[in-house]
């Protein structure tokens, strides 16, 4: 594990090295949670169907097929990590989904070719975020929208596991941008901010299953902590679970909606 100081730049997470092997299982969401997100996002997108969607940083395809079902597609899952993309191609298929090698700063699609770009807890991994925002602007058609689903520095959720890993909050303060920083970045690329949404997502499922999945360590926060910190944290979780002392907590599903403005028509005199 990396040992970066949380007040300095963090090392980039290499999803081809470890995370891909357990990510799909560790980060799986109940069907009700997937449905919640699709219904919530739909309220901030054009009502017409179908919508062409890019799932940017699609990983193992956790949301990609659901986007096709919800919005019609085609849906392009754009993912830089080959091993994550291969897992998606094997286990998250859909007739209107195609997975592509690419990243935020290099999206392999034509100009103004998509209605929606979703980034679900992925944009903080982008090395050059200004270049990424500019490239997203390029592929979104005028009137199209971007949903940036992220943790924001001033609203780091108090996950049920947070207290077992005392330094995790500081790590995430270094990992994530603020809402104001995100808005400034995308507005500089040409987008307008439509809305900032603070969404609360209730705990779903069984706590023992949640503990088992967390032990797969497919959480990018953990990549910036030491093995000793993680081992001690999981020992505390095991003790609390045995005592029935883990508190189930809701989390945040915050996101920002951006829009590429309609192009002003030129008039001739």
- Identify the band that residue 5 occupies on the pLDDT scale cut at 50, 70 and 90: very low
According to the model, what pLDDT value does residue 205 have?
82
According to the model, what pLDDT value does residue 263 have?
77
List, in sequence order, the alpha helices (H) in 92-146. 129-139
- Mean pLDDT for all residues in the chain: 90
Q: Say how far apart CA 244 and CA 26 lie, in whole Å.
A: 22
According to the model, what pLDDT value does residue 46 have?
93
**Exposure of 174 by Cβ count < 10 A (0-12 exposed, 13-18 middle, 19+ buried)?**
middle
Task: Report the share of the chain in percent with pLDDT over 90.
Answer: 80
| pTM > 0.75: yes or no | yes
Dihedral (Cα; 152, 163, 10, 199), 10-degree rounding = -20
- Superfamily of 15-259 according to CATH: Vaccinia Virus protein VP39 (3.40.50.150)
Contact 123, 153 (CB under 8 A): no
For 79-122, how does the pLDDT look when each residue is reduced to its tens digit (9 = 90+)?
999 999 999 999 999 999 999 999 999 999 999 999 999 999 99
According to the model, what pLDDT value does residue 166 have?
95
According to the model, what pLDDT value does residue 25 have?
63
Residue with the bigger pLDDT between 263 and 231: it is 231
Mean pLDDT calculated for residue range 179-199? 97
According to the model, what pLDDT value does residue 8 have?
41
According to the model, what pLDDT value does residue 267 have?
35
Give me the residue spans of the domains in the chain. 15-259
For 144-156, how does the pLDDT look when each residue is reduced to its tens digit (9 = 90+)?
999 999 999 999 9
For 10-55, how does the pLDDT look when each residue is reduced to its tens digit (9 = 90+)?
666 555 555 555 665 666 677 888 999 999 999 999 999 999 999 9
Torsion sign across C-alpha atoms 161, 163, 166, 167: positive
């Amino acid at each position: 594990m990396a040992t970066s100081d949380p007040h300095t730049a963090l090392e980039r997470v290499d999803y081809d090295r470890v995370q891909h092997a357990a990510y799909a299982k560790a980060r799986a969401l109940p069907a009700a949670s997937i449905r919640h997100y699709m219904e919530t996002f739909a309220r901030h997108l054009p009502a017409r169907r179908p919508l062409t969607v890019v799932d940017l940083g699609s990983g193992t395809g956790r949301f990609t097929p659901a986007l096709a079902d919800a919005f019609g597609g085609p849906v392009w899952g754009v993912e830089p990590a080959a091993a994550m993309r291969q897992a998606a191609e094997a286990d998250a298929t859909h007739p209107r989904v195609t997975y592509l090698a690419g990243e935020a700063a290099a999206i392999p699609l034509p100009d103004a070719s998509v209605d929606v770009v979703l980034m679900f807890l992925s944009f903080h991994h982008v090395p050059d975020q200004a270049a990424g925002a500019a490239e997203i602007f390029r592929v979104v058609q005028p009137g199209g929208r971007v949903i940036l689903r992220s943790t924001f520095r001033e609203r780091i959720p108090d996950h049920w596991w947070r207290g077992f890993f005392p330094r995790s909050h500081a790590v995430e303060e270094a990992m994530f941008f603020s809402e104001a920083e995100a808005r400034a970045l995308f507005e500089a690329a040409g987008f307008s901010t439509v809305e900032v949404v603070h969404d609360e997502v209730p705990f779903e499922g069984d706590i023992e299953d949640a503990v088992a999945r967390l032990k797969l360590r497919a959480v990018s926060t953990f990549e910036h902590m030491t093995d000793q910190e993680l081992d001690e944290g999981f020992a505390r979780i095991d003790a609390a679970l045995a005592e029935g002392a883990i508190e189930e907590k809701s989390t945040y599903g915050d996101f920002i909606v951006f829009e590429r403005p309609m192009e002003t028509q030129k008039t001739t005199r």
